[in-house]
Chains A and B, each alone.
Chain A
Amino acid sequence: MEQALTRNFCIIAHIDHGKSTLADRLIELTGTMRRDEISEQMMDSMDLERERGITIKAKAIRLHYKADNGQTYRLNLVDTPGHVDFSYEVSRTLVACDGAVLVIDATQGIQAQTLANTYLAMEHNLEVIPVINKIDLPGSEPERVLAEIGSVLGYKEQDILLLSAKTGQGVPTLLEEIVRRIPPPKGDAQRPLRALIFDSRYDAYKGVIAYLRVVDGRISKEDGLRLMGQGTEIEVLEVGYFAPEPCPAPELTAGDVGYIATGLKSVEECHVGDTVTSIHGGATEPLIGYHPPKPMVFAGIYPTQAEDFNELREAIEKLNLNDASLSYEPESSPILGYGFRCGFLGLLHLDIVRERLEREFYLSLVVTVPGVSFIITKTSGQQLTVTNPNQFPEPTEIEKIEEPWVKISVITPSSFIGALMELLMQSDGAYKQTEYLGQYQAGGKLGQRVRLEYEMPLRCMLTTFYDQMKSRSRGYASLDYELIGFREAELIKLDVLVNDLPVDAFSRIITPEKAHEVGKAMVAKLKEVIPRQLFKVPIQAAVGSRIVARADIAAKRKDVLAKCYGGDITRKRKLLEKQKEGKKKMKFIGRVEVPKEAFLDVLKLG
């Protein structure tokens, strides 16, 4: 087919603004599938995606559309992940497209990720078609949202479409506009092959399936190919496209979006963002700079039952087959036993991995407090990346600590500004700017919509920030953030010693001025949850050798059954048996018996 009749585009939107429903409608209206064949939200195939309303892995579907001008067009719809944790994947997806349909909810207007995605699309020079969705809903305010899109994003009213993905109203116009406004792909089928991998997944029969956009050249079955960034060499086992079922095809040529089956055993060998070329007579320049995904958030994952460790390992290995951005290495803790230190793209990624492990593999897990990675320069000049507080060098050996910072953007009704600014300040946020986006309908009590921009350490966003933001704004505020690099930080490691023994899992990296407060809280919590022992147990919080908080658990004095006569013996023995069983479940910190629940309570302490 002629390159001139191809359109490659994606749909971008804030969570729940209707991206997947719109994709379903496009599939239906182009006759690719009948409505009754479409399981709701076709492009989200994981249960979790459908439930959470987010798309975790991008996919692509080829649609054939007969336009009003009589020509039949090939529309390649590339789905994008909807969350900032996957912004690297989003940006790779955008490279595969020439245009984007920007979906905005008519009841909600512009949200934080609307902006983030739009800016990303603009950066990639995509032709953006803004659409206001859900105009069939009673609470929709298309006029207000039109004005907001005009003032905030700068699109003209006549270029913005109104539609309802649910009813299909306005969707035919959108199809015409896609053909009219989005340019056909550039690129040259005669030049050496260059194709961009924008997604991959593992298939038990065909090995890794790479989703790609061919920019120059062509790919056929049995071609010998090379990944320019990673150097992996592959033989193409199958070429095809999705409609939406995989359809093998003789070849993919410049401008096409489709897949190749590689036979590779792991997605590790086939990273998103890499450029594919021919082994012989290939291109010399990759399409874009390639860098492997970099985990930003780290946490320990342990099985609740020690004997489930092997199952956990197998489950993580399986997830990793499809999720190259998940990193893991074995770790052990005196109380939690054996587990893994895992790295994630962000908090949502962590949540998704945890939920998939629990739901798809039926595991019961303990997840430790998430942390970030630090770059530490030692006085010796040596530089290390530390993802676990336990790897922190002694304070005297540290020359400099750097930690990741994010730019965060919060969109909120103006009535919550005060509460949110307070939260941002408490979270060490640095104020950047305030932007007014427009009025709510009927000048409601909520006031204007405002965008707050702050910069803050990623560390400060990890535990309770999101929940706090939601509760302080009664659920109205939306959040987006992006990494802006590493900055020097003044941080210390706070250790907790139980009976003079430091407990690795309790160590925290915090600012010096919080040492006393956090130390006191942890010591108090431990005193509350550790049962009294046969001896006095000191609990201390320390920075290096300096004790910042201390509490003693007094020795237990009384544990006695007052009465034991002829009729009681069996019952009393059973009480003792219960006590013995309870002891077996105890974990030990040195000589101190600690119930596991107590340990978890302290880990949960934000």
Chain B
Amino acid sequence: MLLVKYVGDLISTISSLFTVDEAAEITIEANPGTINRAYLTAIRELGVNRLSLGVQSLNDRELALLGRIHTAAEARDAVQHARGSGVDNISIDLIYGLPGQTLSDWQQTLDEAITMRPEHLSLYSLTLEAETPMWRAIKAGYLPELDPDMSADHYELAEDLLAAQGYSHYEISNWAMAGRECRHNLTYWRNMPYLGVGIAAHSCLGGHRLANTKSLDKYVDGFSGEALPVPELDEEINPELELAETVILGLRLGEGIDLDGIHRRFGIDILVHYRPQVEEMVDAGLLEQADGHVKLTRHGRLLSNEVFWRFLPG
């Protein structure tokens, strides 16, 4: 974990350069087993007011399968420490759709997570990346293939359980209690500008999407006087692409895209501009229109890529 001293340096540097809103959301991400109550108390006093915990699972066998160094007990402790140190905005990450994971395995983790009453939950279906140990194990037959239908069942179970517990499904993979939606991430989904500082940080500013180098040495060498290192990647986002991205990202949100909002920002009526796409997807039951918004249906959330690619330019 980042030493308390450095957390303090970061926050004070930012405060010296920018005006930080008193109610600003300041999140730190942590893995269970790497934090204790003293640490959490210290960073909370420095201004950190939200903790995102990479719990992943509350089942030791699954944690081992994922190659995590922590146990379910450590995950439970981490949540307790956070509560005990006064953090009142906790987010928990969980993974579902693991090879061999049954619906009841998933329900156990989910049920237990809910009893911890986190303010926010991010649920991610496992994506298998080529050449990872799990990918190799599946190829070699040591683990069963991923089952997309089972994963869809997991997702729908989570939707039902969390809705019943008062969590709002505000983004494809994110749930929150009222008013606890992640403000930081909402910026991305609303396709608004953001500034990232440090190695591997991304920014989106003035029609450009930028990424800094992932190499610490290169980043440090890149400073020239007061000026920040030149981003390694600089992609120009033209207005057409910006519109498409705004639609695609906006559709990830539970509320969908606000037709008036798009009209104000781009001068475009979505229902006219994307008429064939919208009609086709409404007919297919993947999109719906309500209250001046276009949004994914329950069925459409699981098939959102099928909706999104249709909105790309060209």
Contacts and interface: CB of A to CB of B under 8 A. Distances in A.
A254 B82 CA distance: 112
A570 B172 contact: no
Contact of A560 (B189, B201, B211, B301): B301
Given A565-B185, A576-B312, A559 B249 contact: no
B306 A534 contact: yes
A556 B305 contact: no
B211 to A, nearest CB: 7
A604 interface: no
B303 A563 contact: no
B196 interface: yes
A577 interface: yes
A566 interface: yes
B185 A562 contact: no
A280 interface: no
Contacts of A563: 124, 173
Interface in A556-580: 556-567, 569-570, 573, 575-577, 579-580
B282 to A, nearest CB: 13
Contacts of A535: 284
A534 B172 contact: no
Interface residues of B, number: 40
A569 B172 contact: no
A156 interface: no
A534 B194 contact: no
B114 interface: no
B173 A570 contact: no
Nearest to B311: A576
Residue among A562, A565, A575 with max Cβ neighbours from chain B (10 Å): A562
Contact of A558 (B124, B149, B235, B310): B149
Contacts of B148: 556-558
B305 A576 contact: yes
A575 B304 CA distance: 13
Contact of B152 (A534, A557, A577): A557
A560 B154 CA distance: 14
Contact of B248 (A560, A566, A573): A573
B177 interface: no
B304 A567 contact: no
A578 to B, nearest CB: 9
A25 to B, nearest CB: 58
A558 B155 contact: yes
Nearest to B303: A559
Contacts of A554: 149
Contact size range, A? 20 to 34
A583 interface: yes
A558 B152 contact: yes
B151 interface: yes
Given A557-B303, A559-B302, A560-B172, A573 B312 contact: yes
Nearest to B124: A562
Contacts of A573: 245, 248, 312
B70 interface: no
B302 A557 contact: yes
Contacts of A577: 309, 312
B252 to A, nearest CB: 6
B249 to A, nearest CB: 7
A90 B210 CA distance: 74
Contacts of A575: 305
Contacts of B188: 564-566, 569
B127 A557 contact: no
A570 B249 CA distance: 11
Interface string A566-606: 11011001011101100100000000000000000000000
Given A560-B304, A560-B305, A579-B305, A566 B204 contact: yes
Contacts of B312: 573, 576-577, 580
A534 B209 contact: no
A567 B304 CA distance: 20
B232 to A, nearest CB: 12
B81 interface: no
A564 B302 contact: no
Nearest to A556: B303
Nearest to B171: A564
B180 interface: no
B76 interface: no
Given A558-B151, A569-B188, A573-B312, A564 B303 contact: no
A564 B310 CA distance: 18
Nearest to B241: A573
Contacts of B151: 558
A565 B200 CA distance: 14
Given A564-B252, A573-B248, A580 B209 contact: no
Residue among B173, B200, B248, B308 with max Cβ neighbours from chain A (10 Å): B308
Nearest to B308: A576
Contacts of A579: 305, 309
Interface in B137-184: 148-149, 151-152, 155, 172-173
B202 A566 contact: yes
A563 B129 CA distance: 14
Interface string A533-551: 0110000000000000000
A205 to B, nearest CB: 51
B102 to A, nearest CB: 17
A557 to B, nearest CB: 4
A238 to B, nearest CB: 60
Interface string B232-257: 01010000000001001100100000
A92 B250 CA distance: 77
A35 B62 CA distance: 78
Contacts of A562: 124-125, 127, 172-173
A579 B248 CA distance: 14
Nearest to A575: B305
A563 B305 CA distance: 12
B245 A569 contact: yes
B308 A534 contact: no
A534 B188 CA distance: 28
B301 to A, nearest CB: 7
A556 B187 CA distance: 31
Residue among B196, B284, B303 with max Cβ neighbours from chain A (10 Å): B303
A482 B180 CA distance: 83
A561 B235 CA distance: 22
Contacts of A570: 209, 233, 235
Interface string A423-436: 00000000000000
Interface in B244-298: 245, 248-249, 252, 284, 286
Nearest to A534: B284
Contacts of A576: 248, 305, 308-309, 312
Nearest to B147: A558
B204 A558 contact: no
28 contacts: A534-B286, A534-B306, A535-B284, A554-B149, A556-B303, A557-B302, A559-B302, A559-B306, A560-B303, A560-B304, A560-B305, A562-B172, A563-B173, A564-B188, A564-B252, A565-B185, A566-B194, A566-B196, A566-B204, A567-B201, A569-B249, A575-B305, A576-B248, A576-B305, A576-B308, A577-B312, A580-B309, A580-B310
7 closest cross-chain pairs (CB), A and B? A557-B152, A562-B124, A567-B202, A580-B309, A558-B152, A559-B305, A576-B309
Interface of A: 534-535, 554, 556-567, 569-570, 573, 575-577, 579-580, 583
Given A557-B148, A567-B202, 5 more contacts: A554-B149, A559-B306, A560-B172, A576-B308, A580-B309
